[in-house]
Structure 1
Amino acid sequence: MGRLVSTIFITLDGVYQAPGGPQEDTRGGFAQGGWSFPYGDDDFGRFVTEVLAGAGGFLLGRRTYEIFASYWPKVTDPADPVAGPLNALPKYVVSTTLRAPGWAGTTVVSGDLAQEVTALKERTDGELQVHGSGALLRSLLDLRLVDTLHVLTFPVVLGDGRRLFTDGAVPTRFSHRSGRVTGSGVCLHTYDVAGSPEYGSYDLPEGPQDVTGLR
């Protein structure tokens, strides 16, 4: 059975909208697209290449799928570390309206999300990878279908745009697996989903033991 692994680009204030270009996603009048571009150094490229090397298939939201499909099929070198896997491996796009996807190897997922994705994980050899697709990722996290989350945090605050985690998200605990920082300052952190949060208290005990003066 494959693992569902997500890679998401976010700003310090949690925005994931349109990291790659000004016209990528202008919903809500968003005019700050392309905010990840200045940080795309060799360290960043190596990390993306490492992630894609583990892919067995791709699960994408409709918007991200259309952005990818408009560009990557035109990169025909099978040795390209990004285009190679994206063009060769199975692609699944979650949509209730898409009828005839033009990108070879694409299947539309339009039924019950939990059942469909569970079945896809069971028949994927390697990682079933989600890239971008913030709204889909939130749904998958809420359904406890995500195994691992790569969060690439860019050193910029936008103050506007669609955020990954909003009010109403299912409380979730993560276990930190690894992390590093690129030369341009992007924090690359990998987390495994670890279930529900655990809670406690920093209250000090009552009585004579409380002699620290911190209360």
Structure 2
Amino acid sequence: MLVLAFDTATAAITVALYEWTPGEGAVSRGAAEAVDRRRHTEVLTPSIARVMADAGAAPEDLSAIVAGVGPGPYTGLRVGLVTARAMGEALGVPVHGVCTLDVIAWASGRDEPFAVATDARRKEVYWARYASRGARIGEPSVGPPSEVLDGAPQGLPVVGEGAALYPEVFGESGHEPLLPTATALAELAIARLGGLKVPVLLPPEPLYLRRPDAKEPGPRKKVTRA
């Protein structure tokens, strides 16, 4: 079965195509990586088309689609999830979601406790702690960088772009991988589909950890004439 994976929850616009045979393993058929904070819409669809074409695959060959669900900024995150849901509906194939922090954790290959932090802007990070690359502890959170280490063991490693942005809190180095890759996303999803006890697959819905800035307007004020 062919599994298409992509993530737009961060500055990375990343796409991967894997061929998976249950019981026999998965093989990469192609991938595309770009980093652009402002052009998720323009980059994602051509990247998908290029990866599929290079692999000699048609959309109708897909068996499943996997998308990163964040947490991440609203605009970029929405691009990937809307694309995934639209493709899944058009092709009649299942669409799965994976927490983007879990993708970075999986790509780290770490087997000891650590944390993942990504850029949440406003001098905050999205973060989660892990017992190992495939075992998250608790739910993802958003807050100031210092919150990641509150109550944590001394010297806890922190990976991800959020860690690199705040060296005064997390140190100058050792934060790779900084961004998610669709290769790791596909491998993590396939591991779960294959029955491994890794973070669960989610519905393809955005994982927002903040209330939106925009608010519904309140009732109009009454105007009294003098």
Q: TM-score, normalised by structure 2?
A: 0.28
- Structure with bigger helix share is 2
Q: TM-score, normalised by structure 1?
A: 0.29
